[in-house]
Amino acid sequence: MDIRHGVAEANGLSLAYEDMGNVLHPAILLIMGLSAQLTMWPDGFCQQLVDKGYRVIRFDNRDIGLSTKLSDLKVKGPFWQRMLRAQLGLTSPVPYTLHDMAEDVNGLLDFLQIPAVHVVGASMGGMIAQIFAAKYPDRVRSLGIIFSSTNQALLPPPKRAALKPLTTGPGKKADEAAIIAHSVHFMRVINGPGYPLSDDELRTMAESFYRRSYYPAGVVRQFNAVLGTGSLRALSKTIRKSTVVIHGSADPLVRPACGRAVARAIPNSRYVEIKGMGHDLPPKAWEPIVHSLVVNMKR
């Protein structure tokens, strides 16, 4: 697959992006989630969308991958307090919020001179996508939300087994082997039983992510952006674009109830639950996900 690499100057930041497919075809912008580089949208997944006749753009969010690192920003105050307020759908003071990250998306499209796109967001990226679609409806042709949430009050929290490795990390003195082992463990926990990946597959992915970029401080700030943003439900209720919400029935990190909350909030959206899928994009799940996205985009 031919991939065009670039760096966009957007919202005062430099955002690394990759652009695939015919530039004359309808564009899809893929927005990835917490701690996830653009390569978490697998090449094969992107190729399936290109084969359906779309131009596909994926990018590194701020503070991750090859995009700008905001090392001068510090998270202050007790973590538990932000967690509690987030469970109640309330905002908290944080270095930046998902609203700021939605402005990054707007700046990226300006840089690429693309007036409107099909927007697909996964996890935290799905939250950013909801904000963007609500604030910039004229730039959104359709909306796809994958294993995400409205962040509204009293939704079920992640299972402890999935939340613990995300919040603790491998340790400050961990070497490369320990960091990769920790990443393999986390990906194994969130991988659904219906689409199992082998240890070799998980290790290959973890090594690739680590060698491209490893920046845990950015993960902390992104996590706090999720916690600090507050409920998206009021914004999501204003979205009028054709929307499909896709969620795995076995997602331990963002529970299926969160996906159903998104579908209830966005008028006339369609909810698709994939049995046995967790919080990842394993190869055997690509076909049903791509099919659901393409049906929605053609609506």
> CA-CA distances (angstroms) from residue 205 to 42, 67, 186?
10, 20, 12
pLDDT tens across 268-282, in order? 999 999 999 999 999
pLDDT tens across 87-131, in order? 999 999 999 999 999 999 999 999 999 999 999 999 999 999 999
Residue 140 has pLDDT above 90, yes or no: yes
Task: Give the phi and the psi of residue 33 in degrees, each rounded to 5.
Answer: -100, -165
Q: Can you read off the two tokens belonging to residue 230?
A: 């507050």
pTM over 0.95: yes
Contact (CB, 8 A) for 292 and 272? yes
Q: Rounded mean pLDDT of 185-203?
A: 97
Q: Rounded mean pLDDT of 221-234?
A: 98
Task: Tell me which H or E stretch contains 274.
Answer: strand 270-274
Q: Rounded mean pLDDT of 40-48?
A: 98
Q: Can you read off the two tokens belonging to residue 67?
A: 């995009």
Q: At what angle do helices 283-298 and 43-51 cross, to 10 degrees?
A: 40
pLDDT of residue 171: 87
Question: Which amino acid, 258?
Answer: C
Distance CA 11, CA 17 (A): 15
Choose which CATH entry (1.25.40.90, 3.40.50.1820, 3.40.640.10, 3.40.50.1010) describes domain 3-298. 3.40.50.1820
Residue 20 has pLDDT above 90, yes or no: yes
**Domain parsing of the chain, residue ranges:** 3-298
User: Of 29, 151, 167, 36, whose CA–CA distance to 88 is shortest?
Assistant: 151
Question: Which amino acid, 48?
Answer: Q
For 139, which DSSP code?
A: G
pLDDT of residue 169: 87
Residue 1 has pLDDT above 80, yes or no: no
